[in-house]
Amino acid sequence: MSRRKTGPRRTPAPAPAVTADTPCPCGLDAAYGACCGRFHAGTGATAPTAELLMRSRYSAFVVGDAAYLLRTWAPETRPGTLDLDPGTRWTGLEILGTTDGTAFHQRGTVTFTARYAHGGESGALTEHSRFTRHDGAWVYVDGDFPEH
């Protein structure tokens, strides 16, 4: 991933097909710019539920927005830096279940499967993620990997 492109509007993207008008990578029936893109833009819009935050974080992996991933990470568990692997292409997200995580909660969980392709191989990652609020906005805490 190029480190020279640091403009505020475009993130160096391993999947350059994503634009404001293309379907959102998170799988909701909406254009990226009207869905996760409005949260990535950093203009103050934040995901109102833990599930939408999870979806926007998945989309951030797709478009290579490491800064968004870091700022939606709980300070207690946030890594110092995050290097996204440009060789990994995220190819789909399926939400398997949620608990709490609405506008009325302070915590929530989301269980999901994310599919990816890497070096000609495809795979899937299933994670049970925990979310909480930080300064009012949903942030990712950590996750574990349930056995099938």
Interface contacts to Zn ion, rule CB under 5 A? 24, 26, 28, 35-36, 55
Q: Cβ 35 to Zn ion, closest distance in Å?
A: 3
Q: Give the contacts of 25 (CB within 8 A, at least 6 positions apart).
A: 15, 18, 32, 36, 58, 59, 62, 63, 90, 93
Q: Closer to Zn ion at the Cβ: 34 or 144? A: 34
Q: Cβ 99 to Zn ion, closest distance in Å?
A: 21
Q: Cβ 40 to Zn ion, closest distance in Å?
A: 9
Q: Closer to Zn ion at the Cβ: 26 or 69? A: 26
Distance between CA 36 and CA 41 in Å, rounded?
Answer: 9
Q: Closer to Zn ion at the Cβ: 24 or 114? A: 24
